Structures are given as structure tokens and as C-alpha cells.
Amino acid sequence: MLRPRTAAVASLLLIPMVAGGFFLQQAPPRATPRLFDQVLAIVASRYVDSLQSPEVFEKAAKGLVRELNDPYSELFAPRQSEEFNRSTGGRYGGVGMLLEEQKVGAGTSIIVSRIFPHTPAEDGGVHEGDRIMRVDSLPTADAKIDKVSDALRGIPGTSVQVVFQRPRVVEPVKLTFKRAVVHVPAVPYATIIGDRIGYIPLQTFNENTAEEVDAAATKLVGQGARGLVLDLRDNGGGIVEQALAVSSLFLKSGQPIVNVRSRNAPDEVARATSEHLATQPPLVILTDGGTASASEIVAGALQDHDRALVLGTTSFGKGLVQSLFPLDGGYALKITTGKWYTPSGRSIHRERKLLADGRFVETRPDSLETEAEKKARPTYSSDAGRTVYGGGGITPDVIVPDDTLLTTEQEFLRAIAPKAQAFVTVLNQYAFELKGSAPRDFSITPAWRTELRRRLGTAGITIDQKYEPAATRILDRELDRRLSRLVLGDAGARQRSVAEDHQLARAVALLAGARTQEALFAAGRTGASLNAAVKPDHN
């Protein structure tokens, strides 16, 4: 009697099973080029606001690149493409001034903060601290710095008239410049520090970098330098070919510099060429969290081949290869096509994820970096058998943390943060005014401190007594830093500030006692052991 009901239930159960089996055998729905055409047509014809066809195409293309979730891939519009080429090429048509936007009362002013050598601005007598009032017919009051910069740039050989307001000069200064191809230096200066130690700050990798590093190193060795410091801190990279050329200066012909591994192509190995420095003194490379990309290629190659002691903190870890593809209409696509590996096989890249707000963070962030924590990283071997560490970025042979502010100094800076721009403006203007009277061996005087505080008060910046003496230390340091560069130049200012730069001071100390690279490594091992014995203070 129960069999018919049981059979019916079984039949009912069988239907969805068969149906389920049927649907599982169907190919899942897939997006096709027709999907894009359909969405594009509906947006173009039915979206509530009308959009021009070029705008729709650009938005669609940018959306595709954005959905790769790769912070390094980007679609450049024509103007962005020009800016990118200019920033990496190192040359542009202009007058040779670095501009800075400063808060003045309720508005803003555009101030000349630096003048590049051998440019129309230098030849025309522009002063650092001059305020730009007009560029041709463009008044600059409350103008954005990008707009002023664009007005100054143009085709080399064309003319541009600029009106300046100069401190302590009543009448405006009117100058006419003929725009020229401006060379932005990769090495702004090179100098001797301490006991015959050559210092080379390398800011970027543009088309002139290897030539400038070669010239700087040759000059310093000629001046008696018996050791070199190549400062790659805050160098975010640039042209990879220049990183290879800089590495070649310090390596032997044929030594591998970097290995590129891509998805649909065989591995590529870039090797050192025959262009080397005539003299090869002991070398320290400084790195920090701002050392990235092309800079990491240089640091990693010279570390793996035992040609440089790396000192500082672990680099950023941008080990992705970007290729630039020119597109129709002046557009360009910068897209990730591979990864870099050092000669010992270490991946330079440190994995990060892109957040919804546009920031990207490490998937496994480092804690406070110490020698003990460094040893938990994957290990590799240099040519001479020294241990070098992987795990993303270039880990230094000797870890020296960045200089950090005391707690009271941090609290003071947070307190004045709402007035930060006015704070910087007052410091800059006062430094410019002191430039003409300050001796080369100046010290911050009580009278200067009093006047600086008066000016800060006039700008609405009050200093609570509870922040003393931290506030005085910061004011002295910031005024000294600005005035040093104005009075002594970049090289002189660096020589004056070595003691305050703990990483550079350690590099100079290690080089002072080492006549060979091997002796430098031995001194570095001793220094690393001392670092490991000191427990970090987290307070």
C-alpha cells in the first residue's frame, strides 16, 4: 500500500536531481564583447546625463584598468602622458624654477623655492624666495600651482614674461625669459663628509642619472675620497635602463643585475656592461621605506655581488615591471607585465592590497624592524657567501632606524597641524630675510628665536608652554635647516647636518675605519651585532 506513495516521492525527488544534473552540464554564462557593446549603448542613450562619446570611451577604459586592482597600472590621458614623460625624462621646456605654494593670510602665493643651475631663471637673476605675481597675462593671486607651472612651460625658444615680488624690494621685478630645455639633476650635488668620505644623494633615475653618478663619484675620488655613500633614501625609481647603467658602474662586466620573470615570455637577465668607475672605493648604500623600484634594483644587485654594504631600513618593495604602451589619441597605458628578482633569486616585490579609499597596504606588514626580526626572513647567499634576506624589498645588512621625533615633539606638531601651511610660510620667509646677514658659521640666536615666535603669533600660531622645550628644539631645527641651505648651499647644509642624520652618520663612521669592501662588511657585522644586543624602546 505504501509503494505508490513512496514511488511518487521518489519521482518528485528525482526531477530536481535530473534537472540539477542537466543544468550542471550547461556552460556557465560568460561575458563577451557584446556585453560591453550593450552597456555602452545603453549608457550613451539612456543615462540621465548626456555624455560625449570620447568621455564614455575613456571612462570605460579607465574602469577596466582600475578593476585590475593593481595600484601601479594606469591609463594616462594625453596631458598625463606628457607629464609622465617629462617627469621620467628629466628635461622640459621652461625657465628652471621649483615652485612652492604658500599660505598668505586667507589666500595663497606661489614662491620660488629653488633655482636649477644653468637655466634661464639662474641667468636672469631670480632669487629663491621671490613671489610670482604674474606670468604673461595670468595673475597668480590664489592661482593653483599647476596652472602657474603650466604657464611657465612651453616650447623651447619662446618667450615668457614674469613679474616677481622680492623681499625688501619695493618695486616689482619684471623679467623676460626665453624658455629652454631644462635639465632636472638626478644628483643635485656631491660633497666630502667627515674624514674623506664622498656623499652622493641620488634623487631619481632619469635619462641623465648614470652620467651624473659617474661624474660625481669620479670628482669625489679625485678630491681624495676613500669611501663613498650612495644615498637612495626616498628615491622612488624611474628609468630602469639607468638603474642598470648605475649598477654597471660598480660591478664587473657580465655580472647579472636583475632577472625579469613574465607570464608569457622567457626570463630575461640584464647584465653589467663594460662602463665602470676607474676607481672602486668601499661603498655604502642608504635605503629606507621610500627606496623603491629602480633604486631597489641597484641596491639588490650591489648587495648580492658584495659590492656595497646596505644600511638603513628595508626598502619599499616595488618589484613589478611596468611597460608603457602608446595608444591612439595621445593616451598611454602603463601596465604591470612582470616581476623583478635580484641575482641571488630574491623577489623585490612586497605584496600589497588596494583599499576602497585608494590606499594600498602590505598584506603582511613589518613590525618594528630589528636585527632579530630580520633573521626571521627567508635567507639567500651573496657571491661571497654572506647571508642576505628576502621577503620583499631590500633588507639592509645593517639596520639603522629612521630618526624619530620624541613624544613631546610629536604632540607639538599635532597641536599646530591646523596651521601647518602658515607655520612653514613664516619659517621660509624669515629664513630668506636672514640669508643676507647670517654668517656661514651661524648659530640660532635668542634674538632670532624671539622674532620667529613673534611672527608665528602674528600668523595666529600660539605655542603652549606645556610643549617646551620640544617646541624650541623643533623651531631651531627647522630654521637652521632652511637657513643652512640658503647660506651654505645644499652641500654645505648636508655637511652641517650629518650628526642629526643617524643613518648617514653611521655610514660615515663605518667607512672611516674600512679601507676595503671586505673590511667594511666586517665592521658592518660588528655593528649589526651591537644593534641586536640593544632592545628597542617602544615608549
What are the residue numbers of the active site?
293, 304, 318
Burial environment of residue 353 by CB neighbours within 10 A (0 to 12, 13 to 18, 19 or more): exposed
Phi then psi for residue 14, to 5 deg, are -70, -30
Neighbours of 154 (CB within 10 A): 16
Please name the residues in contact with 21: beta carbons below 8 A apart, sequence gap of 6 or more: none
CA 426, distance to chain mean position in Å, is 27
Burial environment of residue 27 by CB neighbours within 10 A (0 to 12, 13 to 18, 19 or more): exposed
Per the structure block, which three cell numbers stand in for 354? 588596494
- Cα–Cα distance for residue pair 423/319, rounded to 1 Å: 38
Reference 429, options 472, 492, 483; nearest CA is: 483
Note whether 512 and 194 are within 8 A (CB): yes
Dihedral angle of Cα 401, 405, 408, 411, to the nearest 10 degrees = -110
For 116-210, strand residue ranges (E) read 131-135, 138-139, 159-165, 173-178, 180-183, 191-193, 197-201
- Cα–Cα distance for residue pair 308/340, rounded to 1 Å: 20
- Cα–Cα distance for residue pair 316/337, rounded to 1 Å: 19
What is each CA distance from 342 to 7, 297, 312, in whole angstroms? 69, 7, 19
Which helix (DSSP H) or strand (DSSP E) does residue 530 occupy? Answer: helix 517-533
- Cα–Cα distance for residue pair 273/79, rounded to 1 Å: 36
Phi then psi for residue 182, to 5 deg, are -100, 130
Please name the residues in contact with 27: beta carbons below 8 A apart, sequence gap of 6 or more: none
DSSP letter for each residue of 432-470: HHHTTT--TT----HHHHHHHHHHHHHTT----GGGTTH
- Cα–Cα distance for residue pair 360/65, rounded to 1 Å: 16
Residue type, position 44, single letter: A
- Cα–Cα distance for residue pair 203/231, rounded to 1 Å: 8
